[in-house]
Chain A
Amino acid sequence: QLTQSPAYISASVGDRVTITCRASQGLSGWLAWYQQTPGKAPKLLIYGASILQTGVPSRFSGSGSGTDFTLTISSLQPEDFATYFCQQADTFPLTFGGGTKVGIK
């Protein structure tokens, strides 16, 4: 089970944003982060807890191991207002966090 927090973040362009994902059991580094905008499919941002997917801007970063993981956006851009999900990629059943919506302040 994956628990994301917070469920909602109100932020402004240029803000630093941090989202956390806590697993009920250790995952080593088998964790991914996805971004989803309304009406679109999720898009892989980070895998292996900290490896940036090809083409993803460097303002996105991931960290953590074991049960606690973090997604950070260093300077929020207009296109980053979206919902973010974590996913454990270790064992079946694959599971997702409940999501964190980043909204405009």
Chain B
Amino acid sequence: EVQLVESGGGVIQPGGSLRLSCAGSGVIGSNYLTWVRQSPRKGLEWVALILRGGNTYYADSVKGRFTISRDSSQNTLFLQMNSLREDDTAIYYCARDRPNSSGWYLGSWGQGTLVTVSA
């Protein structure tokens, strides 16, 4: 069974920084990995994606503030979040591709980690 486990969430003040991690068997061999967040106000919102080759893509709402990266030696995905705002408050999920399919489908997800941005 594919496993993805997020960590690093917590309570942070506006303007602060946080780094999320995602580790597990699902990181290995993935064609792409992504972060998706969910909040009651905005629903499910795609955040960022990284291809196996290293190319990255971002939602406009986080571009310039968030950085997605992966450490292949540690089989870990990261999301560095800077200049956090209250509307970044959400559960953050990491997810990977659905193998052997075209299109940006999210075949496996982690359990999520909660980020709360509040003064």
Seen from chain A, the residues whose Cβ lies within 8 Å of a Cβ on chain B are 30, 32, 34, 40-44, 47-48, 51, 53, 85, 87, 89-90, 92-96, 98-99
Contact = CB atoms under 8 A, between A and B. Distances in A.
B79 to A, nearest CB: 15
B24 to A, nearest CB: 13
Given A41-B112, A47-B98, A30 B44 contact: no
Interface string B19-51: 000000000000000100000000111100100
Given A43-B109, A47-B98, A85-B44, 12 more contacts: A30-B104, A40-B111, A41-B93, A41-B112, A44-B108, A87-B44, A89-B105, A92-B57, A95-B46, A98-B43, A99-B43, A99-B44
Contacts of B46: 93-96
A53 B44 contact: no
B44 A41 contact: no
Contacts of B105: 32, 44, 47-48, 87, 89
16 contacts: A30-B103, A32-B105, A32-B106, A41-B95, A43-B109, A44-B106, A44-B107, A47-B98, A47-B103, A47-B105, A48-B105, A53-B107, A85-B43, A92-B49, A92-B57, A94-B104
